Amino acid sequence: MRLTILINGPDPTVNHDYAVLWLDTGEQRWSREAHAGIDLPEWGEIHYSSDSTVLSRSAEPLCVLHDLRVNGREDVSCADGIATLSPEASYAQIVWHWRLQAVDRTRIYADNALFAGEVSARASSPMTALTGATAARVLPGDVRRPG
């Protein structure tokens, strides 16, 4: 499941800084899709505390989304809350808010999944998963045609 999260200030008409993040709960990874003024890395790991979701990079906590939890049944605990950014950031003293923008429960099966700079291979393609069919392979010099 993937969540689209918007982080911005309490009054976006005054403070135009924001970040749009995708959280992949299955892969336990997040990625920054768009931003202005909130300078988070391009991707990182997701960790959970008792009542919050912690976004980190190399075990360094960067952002806490308070009150956001996803359970094993993919239930999302709430749709908005307070976001705490790393105290080292120059904008950490601002009260940030997070808002759930979208929930995508579509299962993705990719032959070569590329997420946040890592490559992993899956045994079957989406078509195999949907139809049970296998793809015909034509080797160089093979005169047979798939069909």
> pTM for the whole thing?
0.71
Residue pLDDT, tens place only, 9-50: 878 788 889 999 999 999 999 999 999 989 899 999 999 988
DSSP string spanning 73-101?
A: T--BS-SEEEEEE-TTSTTTTS-EEEEEE
pLDDT in tens, 71-112: 888 889 999 999 999 877 667 678 899 999 999 988 766 555
Q: What pLDDT score was predicted for residue 95? A: 86
Q: Between residues 6 and 111, which one has the greater pLDDT?
A: 6
The DSSP output letter for 47 is E
